Amino acid sequence: MVMTGRADSEAELFRKDPRPPDFIEHRRYASYQAWRQLVIGGHIDHEQLVGDLLGISRHVHSRYAYTYTIHEVLPEFSRMRLTAALGDVIALLPMASAVRIPVEEAVIRLVAFFGPVPMELLSDSVLRTVFSGIRPRDVEYAGSTDSLAALGKISVSDTRRLSHVLREVPDAQLLCAARLRRPDLLEAVHAAFDSTDGAWAVSTYLARDFPPPVDIPTPDSPRMLAGLVTLAEGMPGDTVSHGLFPSPITKLARLCLTSTGHYPPAQVLDAARSAYDRRRPYYAHDAVACALAHPEISAAERADLIRHLSGHDGHGRAAHGRRARKKFWRIVRWGGRQL
């Protein structure tokens, strides 16, 4: 039942004006906090909570909507009550005329703010939108986007259904999902790539650090190869669209492609030799690793490259700074194990 008394009456202002809470508006912010405590305590009945969440859904398009988020771990009773109300709201949203963004995006934001929820409450189109919104840089920072925040609050019990949904998601986004290191997602991604041995090897490899502590796998399907090419965003040493320097998954994708001979050896070697040039926008450790792993670059060429980059060559271009030199020598030691 609805709690009566002061706490409930204090929440009424927020119910009437459910825009994202702003502490500058002291009375409305205090009203939101009162409503929030009612939710955490499980003191709002189902119908009222559905109405409250529908009111909030009209404002999830706001750039400040993240302030709705309830971060606390709720008591089981309160969590079940909030999940049940959220499920009804998700079912009602397609018929709600006041939502100002696509329904799928509104659902994703509500899940990110008020989840967790079981996957069964979400339509295939919502799940596709969640996974399609994952980008290489995002997966290094859990919760950095609405898609990742929502995905972290979706529990997956039916991996077969999810794998069918994922077949319609771009290949590169599927590979990004593998980096989240969730066994349920890895299983679904593996199935979406037809459950081949190569798909499992590449998916688990992309969840590793750079340089990887495991053997570089060989992609065994055109789809997986296409996904790696998209993730790589160009040659080793190239800047990327999602940031100045490539994220770990992009470096790993370039390394995987290099090991198959995908890149011309001369271009990889040139990129590696200029990896620490002061004019470069970033230290291209990925280009060095790719040169040491390329099957068409000889041992003599690799040794010459290391000499060139280590400072032992008067005309060389050694890395500047302790961290860069430390990373360079770690890659050299890693490269020695690839021979």
Residue with the bigger pLDDT between 272 and 100: it is 272
Which pLDDT does position 55 carry in this prediction?
95
Which pLDDT does position 7 carry in this prediction?
60
What span, in angstroms and rounded, lies between the C-alpha atoms of 83 and 85? 5
pLDDT confidence bin for 200, thresholds 50/70/90: very high
Which pLDDT does position 312 carry in this prediction?
61
Which pLDDT does position 4 carry in this prediction?
47
Dihedral sign, Cα of residue 235, residue 241, residue 244, residue 247: negative
Residue with the bigger pLDDT between 196 and 268: it is 268
User: Using an 8 Å Cβ cutoff, are 101 and 117 in contact?
Assistant: no
Average pLDDT of the chain to the nearest whole number? 91
Q: The tokens of 307 are what?
A: 């000499």
Which pLDDT does position 324 carry in this prediction?
87
pLDDT confidence bin for 23, thresholds 50/70/90: confident
Q: Distance of CA 287 to CAs 20, 236, 296, Å?
A: 46, 5, 15
Which pLDDT does position 260 carry in this prediction?
94
Element (H, E) at 4: none
pLDDT confidence bin for 293, thresholds 50/70/90: very high
pLDDT confidence bin for 296, thresholds 50/70/90: very high
Condensed to tens digits (0 to 9), the pLDDT of residues 74-92 reads 999 999 999 999 999 999 9
Could you tell me what percent of the chain has a pLDDT over 90? 76
Query: What are the residues whose beta carbons fall under 8 Å from the beta carbon of 224, sequence distance 6 or more?
Result: 171, 175, 193, 198, 199, 202
Condensed to tens digits (0 to 9), the pLDDT of residues 114-159 reads 999 999 999 999 999 999 999 888 888 766 789 999 999 999 999 9
User: 21-25, 46-50, 201-205: which range is least confident on average?
Assistant: 21-25
Condensed to tens digits (0 to 9), the pLDDT of residues 2-18 reads 444 556 789 999 999 99
Q: The tokens of 235 are what?
A: 């040659």
pLDDT confidence bin for 339, thresholds 50/70/90: low
Could you tell me what percent of the chain has a pLDDT over 70? 95
Which pLDDT does position 2 carry in this prediction?
47
Which pLDDT does position 192 carry in this prediction?
93
Condensed to tens digits (0 to 9), the pLDDT of residues 94-125 reads 887 777 899 999 999 999 999 999 999 999 99
User: Using an 8 Å Cβ cutoff, are 130 and 147 in contact?
Assistant: yes
Q: Using the predicted structure, report yes or no on whether residue 66 has a pLDDT greater than 80.
A: yes
What is the model's pTM?
A: 0.88
Name the residue ranges covered by the structural domains of the chain: 24-102, 116-195, 208-338
Which pLDDT does position 1 carry in this prediction?
42
Q: The tokens of 155 are what?
A: 């529990």
Which pLDDT does position 315 carry in this prediction?
62
Q: Distance of CA 75 to CAs 6, 31, 67, 79, 208, Å?
A: 22, 22, 21, 6, 35
What span, in angstroms and rounded, lies between the C-alpha atoms of 335 and 79? 50
